[in-house]
Each structure stands twice: as C-alpha cells, then as structure tokens.
C-alpha cells in the first residue's frame, strides 16, 4: 500500500488533498497505448475497464482496455471530428464533445468550432450540431480542443483553446445549464497553456492539465493548475511530463487524466507518429489550497446538508478573521457564524440548488479551502448541551424559557427543541421514550440564522420519567441516536 506525507493510505490522501510522497515528475510507462492515433480522451467504464477515444483516420475512433495499458481498437468511427471529450448525462446517455476544423493549419489558416453528438452506448453517436461558434467572436475563429466537465453546482463547463491573442496560447471557458447552450465566461483560465484536460477532485477542487511550450518542438512539458471555483487557477509547482522519450522525442500534447484505485493518476497523451502514450504519478499539494470536512453543526455527523441549515467545516489554516473571510456555497455567499484557523461554522444559503454543496473558503491571505457535502431538502439534527449530538437536548420550557430537567407536576408541559436542517420538512414526528408527543410548531427559530425550533407538548398524564430517548423524524429521516430529554415530577 502506498502512503502520503502524513502516513495515511493513498486513497485517503486523495480524498483530503494531502500531498503524496515522491509526488514530483511522473513516470512514463513503457510501450504505446494506441499506435494508430492520438489526441486521447479516456473514460473509466461503469462496468470496469476503460474506453479510449482518440483522433485517427477519418475521425474519432475508440479502443477498449481492462487494465488501462493494453488497448484493442474497436471497429468503426465514433464521429467525424477530433479532440473528443465524453460526459455521462443524468438520463444515462453519453454526450461526446469534439472539434471540427475547416482545414489544416493554425489560427488564421483554418477555423475550429466545438460540436457535440449523443449516444446511448458510447459507441454509436448521433450528431447534435454546433455547441460553440468561433467566427466573428472574441475567439477569432478558434474554439479548439473542447473539454467539458460537470461542475460541482450541476452546470457544464467547457474549457477550450482560444485565439483571443496570437498565438493561440491560452485556455478559456464557457458554461451551460443544459450542456447544449454555452455562454462564454469572462477572463482567461490559464495563460501560456493549451490542450486542456480537467478533473474534479473529491475535496472540491478543480485540477486542470495542459501542455506548456507551444511552438518549441521537443521542449514541451505537461503541467497542471488548481482552482477552488473552476475559474481562478493557480499553477502547480511541478512539471509532470517532459518531451524527449523514445516515443515523444519531437513533442507531446493533448493530455487526459484518470484517477487510479491506488490513489495515483494516469495521464494519456499524444506523442510522435500518431502514438498515444501514458505516464503515472501523484498529486502534489498546492500551498494555496486546503481541504476541509463539512458536517452538521448540531451533531458533527458527515450527513447531507440542507438549505438554510448550519454546517461546520474542519480543516487547517482556514482563517482567524471572520470579518475578512469569504465563504461561498455553490457560488452564493454564506453567513459566517464562527471562524478560527481550524473550524468555521456557517449558515448554508436557503436558495442553493443542486445535490452537492460546493463550499469555498477564501481567507484574507488568499488561501482557499474547499469542501463537498451532499444536499437534501431535509437533514434533521438536534443540538445537545454537550455540543456533540448526544446526551441531553438543548431545550427550553417554551412558556418560562428555563432549561430542563422539565417538571410535569400534574400539568401539560411545552418544550422547545433546537436543531437544524428541519425547516423544510412536510411531515415531522417526535417520540419521547418511544411514545409519540404532539408537535405544535416546526420551522425557523428566526432569531439566529440557520437555527430551527420544534415545539412539543408533553401531556399531563405522560407515564415516563428520567432521561428519555428523544427521536425526531422529518420526512422519514431521523436525527442522530443518543439524544435525550429528562422529565421529572
């Protein structure tokens, strides 16, 4: 088993964004992956193995492999274009983005545009038409090498090479809500890099790869850059792969990268004489970025977060200055309730959508920390006096506003419970010691952002006493086990 710099298994290093040991230049793998084409894109198959799409005779071709090293070319042409990039849609179909060129040569000699095609099996594609025009645009006739990825907030982003300046030596982007209609985004993602490949990492960061050294034959290198939001990239320190081997003596180009089960990554790229090659390596840490874990602020569980709920982030070097720290969730600014170098409590915006919360913390120093958490409309958690999610519930007598234990003393007792992730529930039940009690109110507490309140009525003749298990179920989801409420005479 491989380990990272903190002694953790490689798979955990990848998840937490921790640098792997010996994470410098990647190792070129011997042999040729495909010898009849290049400009590769590799897609890990859901059933196991890999499909490699590449530019060959007559257009985009494909090859299959079980181990990612030995590929067998599949018959037929996938699409009469080049620079393929494949995504899987929510309905199970596949969309292939690709480039069409009006002729040979660079900007000013030919026109490049981005197109797409659709397929149910990843082999037989039906053309969908133009995705991004280049003529009479800021790109000066050059939308080339399109690479499309699903963003953490559910949109689709196309990274591509533009000729906004001469030579065409920059990566820019366009974004789409449906994967069909793309709108250019302002600015340049990376200057001096071409042939984009992009990975979204489990820690909420974007990892962009490309070739540096355009026009300098035989001296090209593969480098990478990191971003918290997919727009503002910072170059990573290491050179990953250099031209100059037996199969890439004259140069290298067009990377595509996949994560391996052991925590490493494999880069496929184009080399000499229509060859597709590969190299393996690890991700080195970029000091401008960190990773955090997002949990419910009420009970510390790594569960789904709900819009309007309170979450806690745990990481390193996040901030100590709440006033000058920015926290965004899916691009929306979030209220900071508490901030330190290792913990930030925040209120998830009510209006976030999509099934993933992509949290980005930008410290006054500019260092960015990212975290991902699944999102669901309701994710109930109750606060406890121990602030641990277990033990006596944080509750008040709803009439006298005094804490427990709660006296029954021959009368009805109204109790206010406090939690988070509850306000959107359509059906809520509460049991005390296994017996149901009436819920009189459930919704925002209104004084503190993200805090929810549930008022319950304990009847006069309630038969149980002592520290009773408190169970709250909202839309079929229960709060964490171990919460109690104490009743006395």
Walk along the chain (489 residues) and give the pLDDT tens digit of each residue.
333 443 344 444 444 444 444 457 999 999 999 999 999 999 999 999 999 999 998 899 999 999 999 999 999 999 999 999 999 999 999 999 999 999 999 999 999 999 999 999 999 999 999 999 999 999 999 999 999 999 999 999 999 999 998 889 999 999 999 999 999 999 999 999 999 999 999 999 999 999 999 877 778 999 999 999 999 999 999 999 999 989 999 999 999 999 999 999 999 999 999 999 999 999 998 999 999 999 999 998 887 999 999 999 999 999 989 999 999 999 999 999 999 999 999 999 999 989 999 999 999 999 999 999 999 999 999 999 998 889 999 999 999 999 999 998 778 999 999 999 999 999 999 999 999 999 999 999 999 999 999 999 999 899 999 999 999 999 999 998 899 999 998
What was the pLDDT predicted at 480? 82
- d(CA 359, CA 330) in angstroms, rounded, equals 7
What was the pLDDT predicted at 7? 39
- d(CA 368, CA 290) in angstroms, rounded, equals 6
What was the pLDDT predicted at 166? 83
- d(CA 354, CA 345) in angstroms, rounded, equals 21
361 in Cβ contact with 369 (< 8 Å): yes
| Domain 24-281 top-level CATH class | mainly beta
- d(CA 317, CA 383) in angstroms, rounded, equals 27
**What CATH architecture applies to the domain 289-374?**
Sandwich (2.60)
> By CB neighbour count within 10 A (0-12 exposed, 13-18 middle, 19+ buried), where does 104 fall?
exposed
Domain 381-488 = CATH 3.60.15.30? no
What was the pLDDT predicted at 301? 85
Which residues on adjacent β-strands are paired with residue 295?
A: 312
User: Cα separations (Å) of 57 from 36, 61, 70, 111?
Assistant: 8, 8, 20, 20
- d(CA 231, CA 234) in angstroms, rounded, equals 10
Which of 63, 56, 62, 58 lies closest to 37, judged by CA?
A: 56
112 in Cβ contact with 134 (< 8 Å): yes
What was the pLDDT predicted at 431? 97
User: Cα separations (Å) of 162 from 85, 96, 111, 346, 352?
Assistant: 17, 20, 11, 39, 32
User: Cα separations (Å) of 403 from 8, 297, 384, 445, 463?
Assistant: 44, 21, 12, 17, 21
Instruction: Please list, in sequence order, all residues whose beta carbon lies within 8 angstroms of the beta carbon of residue 276, skipping any fewer than 6 positions away.
Output: 32, 33, 34, 35, 37, 38, 40, 52, 54, 268, 269, 270
What was the pLDDT predicted at 20? 40
- Long-range own/partner contacts, residues 436-440 (CB < 8 A, 24 or more apart): 437/462, 440/414
What was the pLDDT predicted at 23? 53
CATH topology match: 24-281 vs 381-488: no
- d(CA 324, CA 364) in angstroms, rounded, equals 6
What was the pLDDT predicted at 8? 44
User: Cα separations (Å) of 155 from 145, 172, 393?
Assistant: 19, 16, 40
Q: Which two tokens stand for residue 138?
A: 């800021």
What was the pLDDT predicted at 295? 95
Domain ranges of the chain: 24-281, 289-374, 381-488
pLDDT in tens, 39-73: 999 999 999 999 999 999 889 999 999 999 999 99
């Amino acid at each position: 088993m491989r380990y990272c710099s903190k002694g953790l298994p490689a798979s955990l290093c990848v998840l937490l964004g921790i640098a792997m040991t010996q994470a410098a230049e990647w190792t070129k793998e011997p042999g040729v992956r495909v010898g009849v084409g290049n400009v590769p894109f590799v897609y890990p198959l859901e059933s196991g193995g890999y499909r490699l799409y590449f530019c060959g005779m007559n257009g985009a071709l494909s090859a299959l492999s079980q181990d990612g090293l030995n590929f067998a070319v599949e018959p037929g042409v996938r699409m009469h274009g080049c620079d393929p990039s494949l995504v899987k849609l929510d309905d199970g179909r596949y969309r292939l983005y690709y480039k069409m060129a009006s002729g040979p040569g660079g900007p000013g000699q030919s026109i490049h545009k981005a197109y797409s095609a659709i397929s149910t099996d990843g082999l037989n594609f039906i053309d969908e038409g133009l995705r991004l025009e280049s003529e009479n645009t800021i790109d000066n006739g050059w939308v080339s090498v399109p690479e499309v990825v699903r963003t953490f907030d559910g949109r689709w982003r196309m990274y591509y090479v533009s000729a906004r300046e001469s030579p065409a030596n920059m990566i820019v982007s366009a974004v789409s809500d449906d994967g069909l209609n793309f709108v250019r985004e302002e600015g340049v993602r990376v200057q001096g890099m071409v042939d984009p490949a992009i990975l979204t990492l489990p820690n909420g960061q974007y990892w962009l790869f490309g070739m540096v050294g355009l026009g300098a034959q035989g001296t090209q290198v593969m480098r990478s850059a990191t971003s918290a939001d997919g727009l503002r990239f910072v170059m990573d320190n290491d050179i990953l792969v250099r031209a100059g081997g037996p199969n890439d003596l004259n140069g290298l180009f067009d990377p595509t990268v996949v994560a391996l089960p052991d925590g490493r990554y494999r880069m496929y790229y184009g080399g000499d004489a229509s060859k597709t090659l590969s190299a393996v390596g690890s991700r080195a840490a970029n000091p401008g970025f960190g990773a955090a874990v997002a949990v419910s602020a009420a009970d510390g569980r790594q569960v789904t977060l709900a819009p309007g709920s309170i979450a806690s982030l745990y990481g390193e070097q996040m901030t100590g200055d709440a006033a000058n720290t920015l926290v965004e969730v899916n691009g929306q600014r979030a209220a900071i309730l508490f901030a330190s170098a290792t913990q930030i409590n925040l209120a998830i915006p009510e209006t976030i959508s999509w099934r993933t919360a992509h949290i980005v913390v930008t410290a006054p120093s500019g260092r960015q920390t990212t975290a991902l958490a699944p999102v669901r409309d309701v994710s109930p958690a109750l606060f406890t006096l121990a602030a641990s999610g277990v033990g006596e519930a944080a509750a008040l007598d709803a009439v006298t506003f005094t804490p427990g234990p709660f006296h029954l003393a021959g009368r009805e007792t109204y109790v206010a419970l406090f939690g988070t992730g509850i306000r959107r529930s359509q059906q809520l039940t509460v049991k005390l010691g296994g017996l149901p009690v009436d819920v009189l109110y459930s919704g925002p507490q209104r004084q503190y952002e993200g805090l929810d309140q549930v008022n319950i009525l304990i009847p006069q003749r309630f038969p149980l006493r002592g520290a009773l298990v408190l169970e709250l179920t909202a839309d079929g989801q229960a709060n964490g086990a171990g919460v109690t409420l104490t009743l006395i005479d």
